[in-house]
Amino acid sequence: MEQKGFSANQLKVVAIAAMTLDHFTYVLFPGYPTEWYFLLIHLLGRLTAPIMWFFVAEGYHYTRDWKKYLGRLLGFALLSHFAYNFAFGIPFLPFQTTFFNQTSVLWALALGLLALAISDGKLTWLQKPWQRVLGVMGCCVLAFPANWSSPAVMAILHIGSNRGNFKKQMAGMLLWAGVYALVYFLFIDRVYGILQMGVALTIPLLARYNGERGTCKWLPRFFYVYYPAHLFLCGLLRLALWGNVGVLVGA
């Protein structure tokens, strides 16, 4: 019998739709507008990150070769770096403006996957507990300049390490999202810092995940292509509307 709930593909479609709406709104209406309808759009955009974190952890569990999976994520992270920075007017060479938001979230996703492998002892040269801790800390340091920063690494690690215990997975996700929200609140924008906790809206959706991939086998690959492609379109729109100016923090 067909299982009830949402498949991985269906949840990824939700993530893609929320992400697209969020990104194009940042380009069309730059800055941090506080009208309720803008806040609602960006609140819906918070659905994307937890779904991405969750399925990186799921992908790590199911993959036959985590190294190939990591290589694929790193490859698309490199491609998406240029697409992401072009989309929002962030210099391609990092740290010319700030330490925040210097590359896309895919860099943090790849490092979250690596942190899971380190924690599981998959790296033969990092076997002792203190070595694994240092390895995970290194992943967090490297992920700091990315969108969603180091908390994305820790959220993926917590979700993957507590697979089978949904409450613990979501509690950890909210904890690390809260760390990111606090940094955003203190150093970037107070209203949008609070807005980051909209990730909690994803919990009812993930709670209905039925453990199935879905019938559309090409959708996971489509996401990796769609992500930089839609960012490239965002960049073209930004140039057409505003010229070569930044529209997001980090620009």
Quote the tokens at residue 153.
């690494």
Specify the 3-state DSSP secondary structure of 150.
Answer: helix
The tens digit of pLDDT for each residue in 191-227 reads: 999 999 999 999 999 999 999 998 888 887 888 899 9
Count of CB atoms within 10 A of residue 61's CB? 12
Secondary structure letter of residue 196 according to DSSP: G
- CB within 8 A of 175, min separation 6: which ones? 158
How large is the average pLDDT for residues 222-249?
A: 95
The tens digit of pLDDT for each residue in 142-152 reads: 999 999 999 99
The predicted model scores a pTM of: 0.96
The tens digit of pLDDT for each residue in 143-200 reads: 999 999 999 999 999 999 999 999 999 999 999 999 999 999 999 999 999 999 999 9
Q: Is the pLDDT of residue 1 over 60?
A: no
Give the whole-angstrom CA distance, residue 51 versus residue 82: 23
- CB within 8 A of 50, min separation 6: which ones? 155, 173, 177, 199, 202, 203, 206
Give the whole-angstrom CA distance, residue 148 versus residue 225: 21
